[in-house]
Amino acid sequence: MAKVTVRYYRHKNKLREKTLGLAPLNDDEISFDEELMAKAMKELDDMAEDYPDWVSGLIDKLAAVHRRCVDTPEQRFKLFEQLHAIAHDMRGQGGTFGYPLISNFSDGLYDFTGVNTSTSDTNVEIIKSHIDAMRVVIKQRISGDGGEIGKQLKDGLEAAIRKYRK
Amino acid sequence: MSNIDLSHVSILVVEDSQFIRSLIVNSLRVLGVGSVQSVDDGSQAIEFIKQVKNDPMRAGMMHIDIIISDWEMSPVDGMILLRWIRRHKDSPDRFVPFLMLTGYSEPKRVHDARTMGVNEFMSKPFTINAMAEKLFSIINKPRQFVHTASYFGPDRRRQSIPIDGPDRRVLNYDSPEVEVVNG
């Protein structure tokens, strides 16, 4: 008797029974309720409109933690962890809601606050530059790549990083 | 035409971003999903899954039909969660459909998730249509599961397409090394 090395599991599709009943149906006979779909799309669009307000709250949080980095240098290690977590929350979403510059800057901030990053005064200043750049993006509602202003913001941030790193 | 009725379906959403989490949860509720619970990351998801098994009343969910999870989370990310669900001895349902959500959809990531046994993959930004399409696929086109020495998860060959070159599957359903379990 050969040893079984491959097993295939073919279970009864209970999920289909729950959602469509037992009647045999072809794929083209099945759909989602169009009215519900339209309602869900509207709900998603409405919520996406709140994104700048939501992200604005996170930028305020970043600024508050940054201030504590300045005031209490001995706590920077812990505070950098907080900045890192907030940046993580922000970085995957900017692009989703039409603000890729937010993703771009929070990506940078995420890197600058990782576990192996120095908590020097220089890096605290670089963090401030990231927060300032994000604030401009949201305040002026700079969506997409931001065209010329977007380029200036990116260049400005890079220049600040170079300056503080000298 | 028959509409998919999600009112008896229970979905667990695992997403660390509060904003994205509320987007997903609200979208599912508007689509008519009967029960939606959400947690912050993979470790909370594991605890919740165990609680649903041990004390469903307290968990507020009798059964988890589908898991929708972000990939990038800390401390336990979506891939570790998926690995636990598919391979851990304490996992109460190793077959539960798993929809992975991610901001990064490079081919390598898709490949890694498939190797770990993901059912569906959805990149952010997600749309309602994309979400509906993935749910449709999970509900209406489930794949058989395959268990080998190196893989446990949905059959990665969705269709019977003629293969260009040698077929890496040396066994077939009639081979004595192959067992088909119907349930």
- pLDDT-based confidence at residue A166 (cuts at 50, 70, 90): low
Which candidate from A4, A44, A89 shows the least CB-CB separation from B178? A4
Residue A15's pLDDT is 93
The pLDDT mean for chain A works out to 89
Question: Which of A32, A120, A76 has its CA nearest to residue B127?
Answer: A32
CATH number at residue A150: 1.20.120
Q: What mean pLDDT comes out for the span B28-32?
A: 94
pLDDT, tens digit, for every residue of A85-101?
Answer: 899 878 877 777 888 89
Beta strands B152-154 and B145-147 are: antiparallel
Question: Which of B59, B62, B65 has its CA nearest to residue B33?
Answer: B65
Q: What mean pLDDT comes out for the span A54-71?
A: 95
- At residue B66, does pLDDT exceed 90? yes
Beta strands B120-123 and B98-102 are: parallel
Residue A47's pLDDT is 82
Q: What mean pLDDT comes out for the span A6-20?
A: 91
Instruction: Determine, for residues A5 and B149 on separate chains, whether the beta-carbon distance falls below 8 Å.
Output: yes
Residue A78 lies in a domain: yes
pLDDT, tens digit, for every residue of B9-28?
Answer: 999 999 988 888 998 999 99
Residue A137 lies in a domain: yes
Which candidate from A37, A54, A97 shows the least CB-CB separation from B128? A37
Residue B160's pLDDT is 65
Domain count, chain A: 1
> Which range, A101-115, B83-97, B131-145, has the best average confidence (pLDDT)?
B83-97
- Counting residues of chain B whose pLDDT is more than 90, the rounded percentage is 63
Task: Tell me which chain B residue has its CA closest to the CA of residue A30.
Answer: B2
Residue A50's pLDDT is 87
Residue B1's pLDDT is 66
Contacts of B169 (CB under 8 A, 6+ apart): none
Contacts of A86 (CB under 8 A, 6+ apart): A58, A61, A62, A65
CA–CA separation, A1 and A59 (whole Å): 66
Residue B73's pLDDT is 85
**Backbone angles phi and psi of B104, in degrees to 5:** -120, 120
- At residue A112, does pLDDT exceed 90? no
CA–CA separation, A91 and A109 (whole Å): 9
Contacts of B91 (CB under 8 A, 6+ apart): B49, B84, B85
Walk me through the domains of chain B, giving residue ranges and CATH numbers: 10-154 (3.40.50.2300)
- pLDDT-based confidence at residue B105 (cuts at 50, 70, 90): low
Residue B178's pLDDT is 85
Residue A44 lies in a domain: no
Residue A150 lies in a domain: yes
Q: Show the tokens assigned to B152.
A: 């446990």
Question: Which of B18, B9, B84 has its CA nearest to residue B45?
Answer: B84
Beta strands B98-102 and B152-154 are: unpaired
Domain holding A60, by residue range, is 50-165
Q: Are B101 and B124 in contact (CB under 8 A)?
A: yes
Question: Which of B76, B149, B70 has its CA nearest to residue B113?
Answer: B70
Q: What mean pLDDT comes out for the span A19-44?
A: 88
- At residue B167, does pLDDT exceed 80? no
Name beta bridge partners: B182. Answer: A10
What is chain B's percent helix, strand, coil content, to nearest 5? 35, 20, 45
Residue A32 lies in a domain: no
Distance from B145 to chain A by nearest Cα, in Å?
Answer: 5
Q: For A102, how many CA atoms within 13 A lie in the half-sphere containing its CB?
A: 31
Q: Show the tokens assigned to A133.
A: 């750049």
CA–CA separation, A130 and A66 (whole Å): 11
Q: B148 contacts in A (CB within 8 Å)?
A: 5-7
pLDDT, tens digit, for every residue of A126-159?
Answer: 999 999 999 999 999 998 888 898 999 999 898 8
Task: Tell me which chain A residue has its CA closest to the CA of residue B71.
Answer: A92
Residue A45's pLDDT is 83
> Which range, A19-33, A98-112, A147-161, B23-37, has the best average confidence (pLDDT)?
B23-37
Determine the distance from the C-alpha atom of residue B11 to the mean position of all C-alpha atoms in its chain, rounded to a whole number.
10
Residue A87 lies in a domain: yes
Beta strands B66-70 and B10-14 are: parallel
Residue A162's pLDDT is 84
Residue A160 lies in a domain: yes
Q: Show the tokens assigned to B37.
A: 């619970």
Q: What mean pLDDT comes out for the span B71-91?
A: 93
Residue B161's pLDDT is 66
Which candidate from B4, B20, B171 shows the least CB-CB separation from A19? B4
Q: What mean pLDDT comes out for the span B105-127?
A: 86
Determine the distance from the C-alpha atom of residue B154 to the mean position of all C-alpha atoms in its chain, rounded to a whole number.
10
Residue B119's pLDDT is 95
Distance from A18 to chain B by nearest Cα, in Å?
Answer: 6
Q: A49 contacts in B (CB within 8 Å)?
A: none
Backbone torsion region of residue A141, taken as left when φ is above 0, otherwise alpha when ψ lies between -120 and 50, otherwise beta: left
- At residue A61, does pLDDT exceed 80? yes
Q: How many CB atoms lie within 10 A of CB A21?
A: 11
Distance from A41 to chain B by nearest Cα, in Å?
Answer: 6
Distance from A43 to chain B by nearest Cα, in Å?
Answer: 7
Q: What mean pLDDT comes out for the span A26-43?
A: 89
Q: Show the tokens assigned to B66.
A: 């589908």
Q: Show the tokens assigned to A40.
A: 């869900």
Residue A25 lies in a domain: no
- At residue B166, does pLDDT exceed 80? no
